[in-house]
Amino acid sequence: MVKLLLSLLLIAPAAAFLSTSSHARGSHTQVSETKDDLAVLAGELNPVVGFWDPLGCLNLDFWQLGTEGTIGYLRHAEIKHGRVAMAGFLGYLVQSTDFVSGPHNNLPFPGYEAGLTPPEQWDAIPLWGKIQIVTFVGMLESYGELLPVHYTKGGVPGYYPPIKGNRPELVLNLYDPFNFFSRMTPEAKEAGLVKEINNGRLAMIGLFSFLAEARVPGSVPVLTGIIPPYNGNIMIPFEGDFSFFG
């Protein structure tokens, strides 16, 4: 496992579309960003690769948002996917241990079987359990769009509104329950954002490496013999749950 982590850390993070100006990082509202802002942050994120937009996405106009709105959309998408990938990367490792995949005194859900790989654990969850998970994620996703200033209209990409209310189960802000971010200086937030972007990019590469090696053993040589094979289809998350999947 040490060899695995060291190998992943040596992979150069892929360049993408994230950027931010000093003003953007130090506040909750910002002016829309430009290609010049992206070029500045690209040097901070990875001075070796620098600014790189091989598909020319920054010249596109998504849903008539304009160039700056499109930049905001792409930046928010990468931050969000990076966060999910970081959770998925760690989750894949944890689910590969006996603590999760081994025997349990109390079964965590109907259909549970010890010794399953992470993708197989998902396949073993009953259909209604999967629907509940997807519905909950959809609710979080919808709530995340209720922003004071939307990220495509000058808002801060990656910002998630606080989830807190008067109900007993919502006494904490689920996004920042211990108010770590509120106590950070603008400089610390700026440095933290750069780290989060790079870690998110690395996690996306790492998670896809896990899935590729599981589906096609030997496709990621450094992971051969570490990640167990998976015979299902990772592109069909509900495979076997509905008749039209065969």
- Does the annotation place 167 within a ligand binding site? no
User: What is the C-alpha R_g of the chain?
Assistant: 20
Backbone φ, ψ for residue 29 (5° rounding): -130, 155
- Does the annotation place 233 within a ligand binding site? no
- Does the annotation place 81 within a ligand binding site? yes
Cα separation, 109 vs 179, whole angstroms: 33
Nearest to 204 by CA among 13, 49, 41, 55: 13
Cα 85 versus chain centre, distance: 4
Structure tokens at 151: 């990220």
- Does the annotation place 52 within a ligand binding site? yes
Instruction: State in Å, rounded, how far the first CA of the chain is from the last one.
Output: 37
Structure tokens at 158: 């990656």
Cα separation, 90 vs 236, whole angstroms: 22
Cα separation, 49 vs 232, whole angstroms: 36
- Does the annotation place 63 within a ligand binding site? no
- Does the annotation place 75 within a ligand binding site? no
Structure tokens at 62: 């998504």
Residue numbering of the annotated binding site for chlorophyll a: 52, 78, 81, 83, 195-196, 199, 201
Residue numbering of the annotated binding site: 52, 78, 81, 83, 195-196, 199, 201
